[in-house]
């Protein structure tokens, strides 16, 4: 593996928390096979590669251990923090496969570098009943265990995520799903992760994210899904914008992370904020 691969934990202030990501700040000239090989050897849910551009605009690509993915929030935050540590905080626009993603990095009041990504314009789609039945069967969940006030949907903010809400924290904690069955459904529908949530209070959610299309049982902190979930909350009238929502993820994996989601009334894009630290 190249010595230029950096390792960061995103959406946390400690190396043992959040979601690990690989970052390659100079991947110009790398082939797809080379990038995929690095991501596979690293074994994190995603590794980000800056493949071109300079200054405030950079081309970025993301690879899981199995395939390229169109967008990844935690690797975006990790890359922005790595750039800020090298070049100083500020604004950068990452050109992703699904459109430009502005990111603003800055020092917080504790001297940590945090980054805020602004998603592409999101959308929220209805979910076919047959797809919900298949997803629940793969998860081993029953319809009676879902929160009736948070109906299943498919939300997109750079990548598509199936959103399913559990009625209890216990249901969310007990996750033992059929990896191949869920992965087959997700591949057919082009869903990147499943965003499983439980609402602790109106602006505070706990989340878990199965990621079988990437060869990963569970993603510890998922910025792309958090952005999509912010759009979901606004679209379904579950929160009144402007609002900031906290998503706690990774607790059940022993890698707690915290994602702040800003939902706006005057523009469609969703902002997701988090810290990142070297591993």
Residues annotated as catalytic (active site), given as ranges: 46
User: Per residue in 262-274, is it b (16+ CB within 10 Å) or e — as a string?
Assistant: bbeeeeebbbbbb
Q: Helices 129-139 and 179-189 meet at what angle, rounded to 10?
A: 150
Q: Specify the DSSP element, H or E, that contains 19.
A: strand 19-24
Q: Find out whether the peptide bond into 262 is cis, omega within 30 degrees of 0.
A: no
Contacting residues for 131 by C-beta, under 8 A, at least 6 apart: 162, 185, 189
Q: How far apart are CA 47 and CA 6, in angstroms?
A: 9
> How far apart, in whole angstroms, are the C-alpha atoms of residue 98 and residue 80?
18
């Amino acid at each position: 593996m190249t010595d230029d691969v950096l390792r960061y934990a995103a959406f946390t202030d400690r190396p043992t928390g959040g979601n690990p990501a690989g970052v390659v700040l100079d991947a110009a000239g790398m082939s797809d096979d080379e990038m995929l090989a690095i991501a596979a050897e690293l074994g994190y849910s995603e590794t980000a590669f800056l493949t071109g551009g300079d200054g405030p605009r950079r081309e970025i690509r993301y690879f899981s251990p199995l395939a390229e993915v169109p967008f990844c929030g935690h690797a975006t935050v990790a890359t922005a923090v790595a750039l800020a540590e090298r070049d100083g905080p500020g604004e950068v626009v990452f050109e992703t496969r699904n459109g430009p993603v502005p990111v603003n990095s800055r020092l917080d009041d504790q001297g940590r570098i945090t980054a805020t990504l602004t998603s592409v314009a999101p959308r929220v789609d209805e979910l076919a009943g047959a797809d919900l039945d298949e997803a629940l069967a793969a998860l081993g969940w029953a319809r009676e265990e879902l929160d009736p006030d948070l109906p299943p949907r498919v939300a997109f903010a750079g990548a598509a995520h199936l959103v399913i809400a559990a009625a209890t924290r216990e249901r969310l904690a007990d996750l033992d799903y059929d990896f191949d069955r869920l992965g087959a459904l997700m591949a057919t529908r082009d869903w990147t992760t499943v965003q499983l949530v439980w609402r602790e209070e109106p602006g505070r959610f706990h989340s878990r994210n199965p990621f079988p299309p990437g060869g990963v049982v569970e993603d510890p902190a998922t910025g792309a899904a958090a952005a999509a979930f912010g759009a979901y909350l606004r679209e379904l009238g579950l929160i009144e914008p402007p609002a900031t929502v906290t998503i706690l993820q990774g607790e059940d994996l022993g890698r707690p992370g915290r994602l702040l989601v800003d939902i706006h009334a005057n523009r469609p894009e969703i902002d997701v904020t988090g810290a990142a630290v070297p591993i």
